[in-house]
Structure 1
C-alpha cells in the first residue's frame, strides 16, 4: 500500500506578513521531513506537500490553527515515493498570477458549484433552471492535453495571464448560459470565475477543482488524466499516477 501522503491546498486570505510566515512554515515543514512547494502572497497561500502521513496532517492542523487558514481544505492522494526533490517556499506578488489587481478573491470567494451539483447538471444536460452549461477549462494548453471534461471550452492559453483576453474573445460562447470554470485544484478557476462575473457573465467555479471532482465523482464526464506539478506528472480518476505510456502519449 502506498505510504506517502500528498496534499494540494490553497486559500485566498489576507496575509500581511508573507515573508515572516514563509520562514515559519519552512521550519515547520522541514522539521517534519516534508517536501514540495509553498507559495505565499498577500492574497493567500498555495501549497503542494508530501511526506509521512502523520507529519503532513500535523502540518495542516498547525496551519489551520491560525484563524486566517481555518477554512483551508486539502485534496489528498497517495504515492509510493515523495514526488518532490526538495522543499521550496516562495513569496510572490500573487499565488496564481493573473495580473488583474481588481480581482481580489481574498475579499470574497467566487460562487462555487459542488462536484455533486455539477454531476447532476451534466447528467441532465442543463442546470436546475434549465440553462445550458458551459464548462471552461482555465488551465494551460499542455495541461488540457492530458485530459479534460467532455465538451469543455479550451482556449489554448499558454499562461493564466492570457485568460482575460481569451474570455473577451470568446464572450459570445458564454452569454446567457451558466458557466462553470475549472482547474486542477481550484485556485485558477476561482480567479477566473470572479473575473467573468465582473464582466457580466453568470460564472461559477468547480469547488475543489479536478482533483476534488476525481475524489467525489471519479471519472464521470472526464476524458484522460489530470496533469499535476510534481514528479508523478499526471493522475487518473482514482488519484493514482497514470501509466508512463499514457504520459508519453500526452506529451
Structure 2
C-alpha cells in the first residue's frame, strides 16, 4: 500500500442522508475548501453527499473535522490513498438531484440498506467459491463498461452498461439465472451498489449483498486478491493499482493503444467517455 509519507492525501467519501439545505450550504463548502487549498469535487444533493478531495494531511483533517461537526455527517467514512502530486486541477462544489443518477426515486438508502459484506469476508468467500451458507458467490459489476475494462474482479458479471440508469432493466432480465446464487454487487467506492442491491432486493433477488466501501476499500484491506487490472478513478491518476498507487497507464479496449497517466487533458480521464487515440 502506498506510503502516507507522500505529500498529498486523496479521500473519497459519501453518505446517503436527507440534505435539504444544499443551496444554502454550497457557499460554506466552497469557502472551506478554498481556505484549506483543497481541490476535487463535492456533490451536494437532497439524498446526501459525495466527495473526492485532495490536499495536504492537515487540510484534509481540518476539512473532515468541519464536515463532521454537522451531525448529519458525524459518522461519514472515508477511503484514503496518497500521491506525490495534486491529482485535481480545480475545486468544484456542485448541486445535483441524486448522488448517482438511477432515476428510481423510491430507492432511498437512508431508510435502509441491503446487507453488506466486508472486504475480508468477501475474500474468504471468493477463496472458497461459496458463502458461509454454501451458496455459490457471483460478483456483479455495477460500473459503466469503460471502467470495467480497466479492471474488475475475476469472473464478474458485466452487463456493459453505459450509464447507471440502464442497470435496473438489465439486472431484472437476469434474475432467474441467478436464483440459486449469492450475488455481491460492487463499484468503485460503494455508492452505486448501495442503490443496486436495494433495487435487486425489491425485484425479488433473495441473496444479494453490496461490497462495503467498494473496490477501493477492498484494495485497502486485502489488496488485489481475485481482482485483475486496476480501478478507474475520475482524476488525473487515471487508475489505481491494488496497492492504491497510480497505474501509470491503461490500454483502450477498442483500439489497443496505451493511455498514459501523464498525458494532459485526455478526454478519457476527464469525462470517462472517450479514448484520446480513438478521438484522433
Identify the TM-score tier after normalising by the shorter chain: over 0.9
Q: How high is the TM-score relative to the length of structure 2? A: 0.87
Equivalent of 1:223 in 213, 228, 241: 228
Give the drift of 1:173: 3.0
The two structures, once aligned, show a CA RMSD in angstroms of: 1.3
Question: What are structure 2's unaligned runs of at least 5 residues?
Answer: 260-274, 276-280
Equivalent of 2:186 in 160, 164, 182: 182
> Match of 1:168?
172
Equivalent of 1:87 in 91, 102, 105: 91
> Match of 2:266?
none
Distance in 2, Cα, partners of 1:179 & 1:71: 28
Distance in 1, Cα, partners of 2:167 & 2:45: 21
Residue by residue over 1:67-101, the C-alpha shift from the partner in whole angstroms, topping out at 9 and shown as x without a partner, is 10112111101111111110001111101000000
Distance in 2, Cα, partners of 1:158 & 1:111: 26
Work out whether 1:66 is the aligned partner of 2:70: yes
Equivalent of 1:9 in 5, 8, 13: 13
Work out whether 1:27 is the aligned partner of 2:25: no
> Match of 2:209?
204
Distance in 2, Cα, partners of 1:207 & 1:43: 19
Contact 2:237 2:248 (8 Å CA) reproduced: no
Residue by residue over 1:145-192, the C-alpha shift from the partner in whole angstroms, topping out at 9 and shown as x without a partner, is 000000110000001110001101222232122111000000001100
Give the drift of 1:62: 1.3
DSSP 3-state at the match of 1:210: helix
Greater C-alpha radius of gyration:
2
Distance in 2, Cα, partners of 1:232 & 1:246: 14
Contact 2:39 2:90 (8 Å CA) reproduced: yes
> Match of 2:50?
46
Q: How high is the TM-score relative to the length of structure 1? A: 0.96
Aligned positions, number: 251
